[in-house]
Amino acid sequence: MTKKPWISLGGIGVFAVLLLAVAPLVLSDHWLNNLGKYCCWAIAAVGIGLAWGRGGMLVMGQGVFFALGAYSMAMHLTLESAGDRVPGFMVLYDPLAPLPAFWEPFRGAGFTLLAIVLLPVVVAGILGYALFKRRVKGAYFAILTQALAVALATLISSTIRETGGDTGLSDFKYFFGFVLNDPANKIMVFLIAAGLLVVCLLVVWQLYRSRFGELLVATRDAEERVRFLGYDPANVKLVAFVVSALMASIGGAMFVPIVGIITPAEIGAAASILMIAGVAFGGRASLFGPALGAMAVGWGQSSLGSTWPDGWTYILGLLFIVVILFLPNGLSSLPARFAAARRRPEQKAAPSAATPELEEVRS
Amino acid sequence: MHVDALIAPLLNGSAQGALLLLAALGLSLTFGQMGVINMAHGEFLMLGAFAAYLVQQVITASDLSIPVALPVAFVVAGLFGLLLEVTIIQWMYRRPLDTLLVTVGVSLILQQAALQIFPSQGVPVEKPGWLDGQLTVLGYDWPLRQLFTILLATVCVAALSAWLKHTSFGRRIRATVHNRDLAETSGISTRTVDRLTFFTGSGLAGVAGVAASLIGGTNSQMGAQYIIPAFLVVAAGGIGQLKGTIIAAWAVGVALSYFAYWTTGSLAQVLAFILVIVFLQLRPQGLFTVRTRSLA
Amino acid sequence: MLELTDIEAGYGRTRVLHGVTVPSGKVVAVLGHNGAGKSTLLRLAIGLIKPSKGRVLFDGEDITSLAPNRRVARGMAYVPQGQQSFGQLTTLENLQLVADGRREGRALVDAQLDRFPALAQFATRKAGLLSGGQRQQLAIARALITEPKLLILDEPTEGIQPTIVAEIEQTIMQLAAGGMHVLLVEQHIGFALQAAERYVVLASGHVTQTGEGGKAATSTVRAAMAI
Amino acid sequence: GCGARAGDEAAGSATSAAPSCVDTSGPTVKLGFLNSLTGGMAISEKTVSNVLHMAADEINAGGGILGKKIAYVQEDGATDWPTFAEKTEKLLTQDCVAAIFGGWTSSSRKAVKPVVEKHNGLFFYPVQYEGLESSPNIYYTGATTNQQIIPAMDFLASRGVKKLFLAGSDYVFPRTANAIIKLYAAKLGIEIVGEEYVPLDKDDWTSQVAKIVAAKPDFIFNTINGSSNVGFVKAYYDAGLTAATTPIISVSIAEEEAPAMGHEVTGHYASWNYFQSLKTETNPKFIESWKAYPNSSGVTSDPMEAAYISLYLYKALVEAAGSFDVDAVNAAAKKNTITFDAPEGKVTLDGDNHHISKPGHIGQINANNQFDIAWASDKFIEPDPYLEGYDWFPADIRKQLTDAAG
Amino acid sequence: MTDASLVVTDLRVEFSGFVAVGGVSFDAHPGEVRFLIGPNGAGKTTCIDAITGLTKGTGSARLGEKELLGRQVHKIVRLGVGRTFQTASVFDELTVLQNLDIAAGRHRPAISLLRARRGVDPAIERALEETGLAGELTTPAGILSHGQKQWLEIAMLLVQDAKVLLLDEPVAGMSQDERTATGELLQRIAAKRIVLVVEHDMDFMRRYATRVTVLHQGRVLSQGTVAEVQADPRVQEVYLGTADAMTEG
Ligand SMILES: Nc1ncnc2c1ncn2[C@@H]1O[C@H](COP(=O)(O)OP(=O)(O)OP(=O)(O)O)[C@@H](O)[C@H]1O
Ligand SMILES: Nc1ncnc2c1ncn2[C@@H]1O[C@H](COP(=O)(O)OP(=O)(O)OP(=O)(O)O)[C@@H](O)[C@H]1O
Ligand SMILES: NC(N)=O
Ligand SMILES: [Mg+2]
Ligand SMILES: [Mg+2]
């Protein structure tokens, strides 16, 4: 009980070495860049693990927060590339109009970084406060957040002059003064993303072993009961939700320089669900599960989707079905399962492992 | 402002609402009553549309084929629903939220299969001749096809509510949802109830698919555009509340239509979503709610 | 009527019952401390749990793998522990639910409403809004509507006011006298022994004592429970 | 971070592309095919992908390019623009292909563009588009605006159209095309009585069609892409509109789409360069080969033909250059001598803007869902992506656009 | 404030027209084990629900100077009012220790939530001793027996340092020995706190109650010592039964 967190910490250490030291040495530029992209999804996934796995909030609209980070970053990089001109894609629709007002502050690097951190905190804070105080949960919460992602993606698609629309923002030349085409800078960007992933893992590691982690699980399993212990469950959930939103935003922000393009499709319904797929696959309530799962799904998409495009869709579909049906706690629960199977069968085990039962759906 | 500008969106919106209602009706059973969040519901709708196409390949006179297609689509989609229930859903009643993710997988597979089986461009479903023409309402030429959608939705709602209310079946569904073990030990065959409910709910999606095939394209992607709005409608109406679903569907349809009239088609979608989200924010349990003593 | 032989059962990998045998009898009482496995035994009797070992016989027929609703159809009825009812259905609907499809269904419902006036008073209220005791009465009424051959009761008087407890106890005695078989879990050892033809004491999932009702002294039963 | 900073570019060569890894020393040359085989655009792109395979098979049967057989690497863009970018990078740096063919939506092209430019690769794009673009690393074998949109507008003017309604999908091609249409309409004296957009993945057009009915246009200019067209056509007929009174001219409905509308679309128009019904020397053979090709849709269409051309054009370029090297190929193009006997006629490549000359055609849909030619340009139209030959297009916009493109 | 009393005055709860509690007044003081009895549906649980903020009530329920009605559930808890439920509800997935640690948490500063737990809080150790759960420290609460869960709930109230314990049928389903243990536990606890027990087990009431309030149809029917209440013919009629059939060995 008391030893396990330190083993996990060691795990994070090994993971960090593999990612930050080994990967840049052994991978080609292309695959390192892809790995960077998976890291971005993994960062978001770590947040989803916190909100959904531990907190029981099925966040189906993390694309919204991913978008806040991604578009903040993309607007800055677009302006950086455009210099003092209005970005090219805007010219056609209204050649004489100035830069939209909300773009202007994103010229500043400091403002951009601040926005990446503060926007998700504020938006998730307001949204979460409103939803949790009114006790919106379970399927309602899931569908609402998903609807929000759809709405935002549609909004971006339909405001082509202001946001680039469906085509998105791309063709960035610089990253805070660094030339993006330079391979050395690409490695630097990768290291930043990978480093942030490690930091996020450390954050949830501490959260999970803290009293807050226990309280969060308690809230997930019996929200009303927590109320009768003198806590406001809304606040507990809010903290987890905001942290997960922040992580999604950071993932989104790093996605932009790495992938070089951001479009509404990356933040809409399908993308938001794909983020969840990785988390479910790896193990929603575990420490490493969400990150590794997201990376695995990302890799699957790049490589299997390449050699076998039709098949990949079927594999992805089956992945959802098989994992959720047979392994609700994801691949990371496999070792524990084997171990438990070998232990004395007489020993009492917890009634059901971490499967958040959400009554609201039916009540 | 011309009368048209006021009356046209109202009538168009009512038809849009009726289609939404058809899409949501099955969900109000499987989601509202059984607690299953079936993300493949849109693909069942698609199955209904493809069924209509296949029927038209056999019965080439579209005047006849659409009336025949309705029950066929119901059965086809219903059987797929039944298959889903028997193979997957039946193991998941104790963790309803997870059904959402499992059925996302199912929906991916069905979409991809449809893309590969049918021509990728989609297939044509022809409107019957008796739906050509318009009805003039207050100076606006209201397409008959829209009237048909509303009629179809009305018939389905009436049949469903009669079935739930005036047969013992409705009680059994509700009992099974509320407490599976207790229902079983009260002598109810919960397996039969589950299967029949899921069959019916999915079948209704098939019927919605026929209606949808008269409005838009019949292709592998068609279901995707209905799923989220349909869920929102069920949620906004109050889970398990048929009348709530009806009102919510109508309201969303009309709102969409007015928004589209005043702004753009894309912005209308955004505004309608925001409207529902804000509404649910104010009334998290939807229009109509059922109260029980919490924790008791 | 109902015979359980050498039952092993539990939840997941947790074994709760170890080689439990319950003999047939008109009224059989199962006694034991909290967590002894009494409810588990009854859940097994009605079919909610399947034994990993052992057999369940009803009326001479092996029903070990029969689904609960099938057992109900064969004449068993079950009142679970904890005042369970269908909260979203009204009191009346709760009763109609089990009366559906039976001849004289209406009359059966009315008979129970007569028996439990509190239910008649709140016939149109959602069962989820009833008080704990009212819900327990409803659960018993639901079971009785099916006119079972064997009635399985898990602590039927838990949470019920004394006057009604007395009534329920009387009802049980009457039903038994009228030929209904009863499998009963009760913490009121006095009543249980008085009503029972046979009793079984469970401790940590093992049978520690069996005997004839009536004659047994509560003190020896208590001793067996403590093991 | 030890890499180049902004402003360093001039000094060092740090930002120039890494040397190409293309290896043509063996008996084959690797090419990349990139289209959406899954997701929403698979509806349209599968056919393009398939016809590329046919062209490759034909070329291989004829001895290959510079004597080397084509070995193609097929990738799925999955209707996701970042995936297009990723796959482009993979094809160029991992698979080391000599050139990439494919794409459909302008969005996908815009995602590919920076990547091919960065790695100095080649991309052949086969679909009509909104113009106002050029890149040393992209060859455009579909129509630019002055080869499709402007002929269509000229045709409308010749028919005496006074009131025009614009209906389009909500993305870059229709938005840009309509911006150009509006500029030209002003010049032609055509009034734009309405402009409506619906997202690509939505097909309920009822509300918008009600607006069309109210606006009473003479003609509808349709820039809707994909299956959203079906919903548009259905709503159109539901509302009682007909080809006789309010005809539609489309730029994305071709032989393949027309029969899938679920309603007779006889009498409506489309503006393309190629139609299956064209009577050219090479067309019959093209149609025949396609009909015989596995998984063929049975009809030919403009985007297919443009995709088909693209591979042959590449063959011609390489053989003119005598090398697969990108710079050599571009240098060969600069000579402006590359031509190909395409099913639409003999097209010539413009080595400066990387577009090809094309005949303009307006077809009218007949009962067989084929197109009867209603108008044809008197000669091949030279490509003019920045509309430099059109004085109604504001020079300052053109300048800003070219400036922004760098 | 340790001697603050719970004073309920004219408490009313209505559910869409149905009066579940129709003007109930009673008080409870530290040092006594107060029983609330009455027929099924009399409104006992509803009283507790109203006092703890679970349902809306009118009238007044004061703990010392503080009015409880109208506050949010968790705020009422923070004033020192704790309750158990008719069906035990503990956090099944957490261990006994974790359950108790969470219950103890409301006295800690919020920031301490972010640190991991080190060792066992002395208050928790005391509560474990009191309730006899010391051996189950690392057992997941979900696999405790029914009776142990109820003790865990009481232990959670203890570490929460609740001044008022509202216990809804705490011994339902317990065997005789367990009842005795629980009764004695309640007597010990009551020394410094207000304990209000809802029970139908009259034997249990007779042994441990100091004062009793009888509710009937949402109103107070009778109030007094066990003997007084038992002697009240109205109580006998609606609740106890004239013969007082409760003869349990
Ligand atoms: N769903 C379950 N999963 C795992 N273990 C369970 C489950 N239900 C009961 N148990 C365990 O099985 C054992 C026996 O429980 P059971 O409910 O049969 O006891 P009981 O004799 O009825 O007790 P009580 O008098 O408290 O009702 C207990 O240790 C209990 O914790
Ligand atoms: N939310 C509600 N809506 C309508 N009626 C309710 C609601 N909650 C409780 N009631 C009714 O109020 C009455 C009092 O219920 P309460 O649960 O307080 O009784 P109780 O005294 O605790 O009974 P028991 O001893 O059976 O637990 C009952 O008739 C019950 O049906
Ligand atoms: N170029 C197009 N049709 O997007
Ligand atoms: Mg029990
Ligand atoms: Mg009560």
Please give the residue that has the higher pLDDT: either E177 or D338: D338
Assess if residue C45 is contained within a domain: yes
pLDDT at A307: 78
Higher-pLDDT residue of D113, C188: D113
Q: Give, to the nearest 10 degrees, the angle between helix E96-104 and helix E146-159.
A: 30
CA nearest to B189, candidates B167, B168, B165, B172: B172
Q: What is the mean pLDDT of residues C151-171?
A: 88
D319: its two tokens? 């053989």
Residues listed for chain A: 363
- Judged against a pLDDT cut of 90, whether residue B121 lies above it is answered with no
Average confidence score pLDDT of chain D: 93
**Whole-angstrom Cα distance, residue A331 to residue A349?**
20
Res C42 pLDDT > 80: yes
Residues of A in contact with D89 (CB under 8 A): 30, 33
Cα torsion for B226, B231, B233, B238, to the nearest 10°?
A: 160
Q: How far apart are the CA of C41 and the centre of ligand 4, in A?
A: 9
pLDDT band at residue A343 using 50, 70 and 90 as cut-offs = low
CA dihedral E61, E67, E71, E76 (to 10 degrees): -80
Taking the C-alpha atoms of residue C100 and residue B189, their distance in angstroms, rounded to an integer, is 13
- 3 state DSSP class of D150: helix
CB E33 within 8 A of CB E185: no
List of residues 6+ apart from A157 with CB closer than 8 A: A165, A166, A264, B266, D170, D171, D199
The answer as to whether C146 is a domain residue is no
Domain count for chain E = 2
Looking at beta carbons, which residues of chain E come within 8 Å of A232?
72, 74
Task: Look at residue B122 and give its three-state secondary structure.
Answer: coil
pLDDT of residue E245: 42
Alpha carbon distance D50, D206 (integer Å): 34
Q: Examine residue E86 and state whether it is found in any structural domain, yes or no.
A: no
From E160, E193, E214, the end of a domain falls on E160
> Predicted confidence band at A350 (pLDDT cuts at 50, 70, 90)?
very low
Sequential DSSP letters for B18-36: HHHHHHHHHHIIIIIIT--
End-to-end CA distance of chain B: 56
State the distance from the centre of ligand 3 to the C-alpha of D117, rounded, in angstroms: 20
Share above pLDDT 90 across residues of chain C, in percent, rounded to a whole number = 58
pLDDT bin (cut points 50, 70, 90) of residue E3 is low
What's the Cα-to-Cα distance from C77 to each of A102, A225, A242, C147, C172, rounded to whole Å? Answer: 69, 33, 50, 8, 13
Give helix B144-166 / helix D228-238 axis angle, nearest 10°.
Answer: 100
Query: Which pLDDT value is given to residue C208?
Result: 93
Q: Give the 3-state secondary structure of chain A.
A: CCCHHHHHHHHHHHHHHHHHHHHHHHCCHHHHHHHHHHHHHHHHHHHHHHHHHHCCCCCCCHHHHHHHHHHHHHHHHHHHHHCCCCCHHHHCCCCCCCCCCCCHHHHCHHHHHHHHHHHHHHHHHHHHHHHHHCCCCHHHHHHHHHHHHHHHHHHHHHCHHHHCHHHCEECCCEECCEECCCHHHHHHHHHHHHHHHHHHHHHHHHHHHEHHHHHHHHHHHCHHHHHCCCCCHHHHHHHHHHHHHHHHHHHHHHHHHHHCEECHHHCCHHHHHHHHHHHHHHCCCCCCHHHHHHHHHHHHHHHHHHHCHHHHHHHHHHHHHHHHHHCCCCHHHHHHHHHHHHCCCCCCCCCCCCCCCCHHHCC
- Tell me which chain A residues have a C-beta less than 8 angstroms from the C-beta of C87: 363
Query: What distance in Å separates the CA atoms of residue C14 and residue E195, rounded to the nearest whole number?
Result: 36
Q: Do E74 and E17 belong to one domain?
A: yes
pLDDT greater than 50 at residue A230? yes
D with B: 3 or more CB pairs under 8 Å?
yes
Interface check for B293 against chain C (CB to CB < 8 A): the answer is yes
> Does C46 fall in a domain?
yes
Q: How confident is the model at residue D226 (pLDDT cuts 50, 70, 90)?
A: confident
Task: Order the strands of the C61-62 sheet from edge to edge.
Answer: C14-22, C2-11, C53-58, C61-62
Ligand 2 pocket test, pick from B293, B294, B295 with the greatest ligand atom count within 8 Å of Cβ, gives B293
Query: Which residues are CB-contacts of A58 (< 8 A; sequence separation ≥ 6)?
Result: A52, A138, A139, A141, A142, A145, A276, B97, B100
Average pLDDT over residues D114-136: 95
Confidence of residue D270 (pLDDT cuts 50, 70, 90): very high
pLDDT digits (tens, 9 = 90+) for E48-65: 999 999 999 999 999 999
Q: What is the pLDDT of residue B256?
A: 93
The most confident of the ranges A316-320, A357-361, C115-119, D368-372 is D368-372
User: Which residue's CA is minimally distant from atom 7 of ligand 2?
Assistant: C129
* Domain-located, residue C69: yes
Q: What mean pLDDT do residues A283-290 have?
A: 93
Q: Which residues of D touch A315 (CB under 8 A)?
A: none
At least 3 CB pairs under 8 A between chains A and E: yes
Contacts of A174 (CB under 8 A, 6+ apart): A77, A80, A81, A180, D6
**Minimal CA separation from C31 to chain B, in Å:** 22
Q: What is the mean pLDDT of chain E?
A: 88
Last residue of a domain, one of E160, E183, E203: E160
pLDDT of residue E12: 96
Taking residues D361-379, report their average pLDDT.
96
The encoded tokens of residue A257 equal: 């320089």
Residue E248 lies in a domain: yes
pLDDT at A357: 29
Q: What percent of chain D has pLDDT over 90?
A: 82
Q: What is the reported pLDDT for B295?
A: 35
Per-residue pLDDT at B1: 46
User: How many angstroms separate the CA of residue B119 from the nearest CA in chain D?
Assistant: 8
Determine which of A85-99, B12-26, D258-272 has the lowest per-residue pLDDT on average: A85-99
Buried b (16+ CB within 10 A) or exposed e, A39-55: bbbbbbbbbbbbbbbbb
- Write the DSSP symbol of residue E236: I
| Residue C218 falls inside a structural domain | yes
Select the more confidently predicted residue: A349 or A173: A173
Q: Is D175 on the interface with B (CB under 8 A)?
A: no
State whether the beta carbon of C43 lies less than 6 angstroms from ligand 1.
no
Q: Is E45 on the interface with B (CB under 8 A)?
A: yes
- Total number of domains in chain C: 1
pLDDT for A169 equals 96
Q: Does the C-beta of D140 come closer than 6 Å to ligand 3?
A: no
What are the residues facing E9 on neighbouring strands? E60
* Cα–Cα distance list, D141 to A88, D57, D305, D306 (Å): 24, 20, 9, 5
Q: Is the pLDDT of residue B290 over 70?
A: no
Cβ atoms C35, E146 nearer than 8 A? yes
Q: Is the pLDDT of residue E1 over 70?
A: no
Whether residue D173 has its Cβ less than 6 Å from ligand 3:
yes
Residue E249, pLDDT score: 31
Mean pLDDT throughout A109-131?
A: 96
Q: How far apart are CA C93 and CA C194, in angstroms?
A: 35
Q: Which residues of B touch E (CB under 8 A)?
A: 293-296
pLDDT digits (tens, 9 = 90+) for E35-50: 999 998 899 999 999 9
Interface with chain D: mutation pick from B266, B270, B271, highest number of D CBs within 10 Å: B266
Chain A interface residues facing chain E, Cβ-Cβ under 8 Å? 1, 5, 206-207, 209-212, 214-215, 217-218, 221-222, 224-232, 348-351, 354
CB-based burial label for B199 (10 Å; 0-12, 13-18, 19+): buried
Which range is least confidently modeled, A163-167, D116-120, E132-136, E224-228? E132-136
Please state the rounded mean pLDDT for residues D194-203. Answer: 90
Q: What is the pTM of this model?
A: 0.90
CA D60 to chain centroid: 25
| Cα Rg, chain B, nearest whole Å | 19
Mean pLDDT, residues D285-294? 96
Q: Average pLDDT for residues A114-123, to the nearest whole number?
A: 98
Q: What is the DSSP string of E87-122?
A: S----TTSBHHHHHHHHHGGGS-GGGGGSBP-S--H
Q: Flag if B175 and C97 touch (Cβ within 8 Å).
A: yes
In order of A147, B41, B275, D146, the CA distances from B280 in angstroms are: 12, 22, 9, 50
CATH of the domain at E20: 3.40.50.300
E62 part of a folded domain: yes
Per-residue three-class SS string for A26-85: HCCHHHHHHHHHHHHHHHHHHHHHHHHHHCCCCCCCHHHHHHHHHHHHHHHHHHHHHCCC
Residue C212 lies in domain: 2-82+151-225
Chain A contact set for E82 (CB, 8 A): 228
Any ligand 3 atom below 6 A from CB of D155: no
Q: Are strands C27-32 and C150-154 parallel, antiparallel or unpaired?
A: unpaired
Whether E169 sits inside 8 A of C14 (CB atoms) is no
How many whole angstroms from E103 Cα to the centroid of ligand 4?
26
Same domain, yes or no: E76 and E171: yes
Q: Determine which of B20, B98, B99, B294 to mutate to test the interface with A (most A C-beta atoms within 10 Å).
A: B98
A36-45, B88-97, D1-10, D12-21 — which is least confidently predicted? Answer: D12-21
**In chain B, which ranges are continuous DSSP H helix?**
3-27, 41-58, 62-87, 96-117, 144-166, 168-178, 180-185, 190-213, 224-237, 242-262, 265-282
Contact E114 A226 (CB under 8 A): no
pLDDT of residue B33: 79
* pLDDT at B138 exceeding the cut of 70: yes
**Phi and psi angles of residue D251, each rounded to the nearest 5 degrees, phi first:** -120, 5
What value does the mean pLDDT of chain C take?
90
Return the DSSP state at E64: T
pLDDT 10s digits, C64-103: 999 999 999 999 999 998 788 998 889 999 999 999 878 8
Mean pLDDT of the A102-124 span: 97
Residue from C97, C108, C109, C147 whose CB has the most chain B CBs within 10 Å, to mutate: C97
Q: Calculate the dihedral angle through the C-alpha atoms of C4, C5, C11, C12, rounding to the nearest 10 degrees.
A: -140
Please tell me the predicted confidence (pLDDT) of residue C30.
95
Extended beta strands in D47-130, E state: 69-76, 100-102, 123-125
Q: Do chains D and C touch (3 or more CB pairs under 8 A)?
A: no
> Using the beta-carbon criterion (under 8 Å), do C67 and B175 form an inter-chain contact?
no
pLDDT at E203 over 70: yes
Tens digit of pLDDT for each residue in E89-100?
A: 788 888 999 999
**Does any domain span residue C6?**
yes
Which of E160, E193, E219 corresponds to the end of one domain?
E160
Does the pLDDT of residue B294 top 90, yes or no? no
Task: Name the more confident of C125 and A335.
Answer: C125
Task: Measure in Å the smallest separation between the Cα of B172 and chain A Cα atoms.
Answer: 15
CA dist E248 and E203 (Å) reads 7
E104-107 long-range contacts, Cβ below 8 Å, gap at least 24? Answer: E104/E159, E104/E160, E105/A211, E105/A215, E105/A229, E105/A231, E106/A229, E106/A230, E106/A231, E106/E77, E106/E78, E106/E160, E107/E161
**Is residue E85 situated within a structural domain?**
no
**Whether E156 and E167 share a structural domain:** no
> Nearest Cα to A88, choosing from E128, D406, C47, D25?
D406
Atom of ligand 1 nearest to the CA of A352: 3
In which domain, by residue range, is E226 found? 1-80+163-249
- Per-residue model confidence (pLDDT) at position D405: 67
Whether E76 and E167 map to the same domain: the answer is: yes
One domain, residues E168 and E244: yes
Residue C138 lies in a domain: no
The reply to whether C161 falls in a domain is: yes
Beta-carbon neighbour count of residue D25 at 10 Å?
A: 6
The residue among D9 and C31 whose pLDDT is bigger is: C31
pLDDT band at residue D36, thresholds of 50, 70 and 90? very high
- DSSP designation for D358: B
Q: Is the pLDDT of residue D400 over 90?
A: no
Instruction: Inspect the interface and report whether the beta carbons of A349 and C15 lie closer than 8 Å.
Output: no
Tell whether the model's pLDDT for residue B47 goes beyond 50. Answer: yes
The secondary element (H helix, E strand) that includes residue C191 is helix C189-195
Atom 4 of ligand 3, nearest CA residue:
D105
Q: Which residues of chain B have a CB within 8 Å of the CB of E89? A: 295
Please tell me the predicted confidence (pLDDT) of residue E88.
66
Contact D396 A157 (CB under 8 A): no
> Quick one: which ligand is closest to C11's CA?
1
- E167 and E44 part of one domain: yes
Tell me the ipTM for this assembly.
Answer: 0.89
A99, pLDDT greater than 60: yes
Residues of C with CB under 8 A from a CB of A: 11-15, 87
* CA gap D236, D250 in Å, rounded: 14
pLDDT at D9: 57
Phi/psi for D265 (5° steps) reads -115, 20
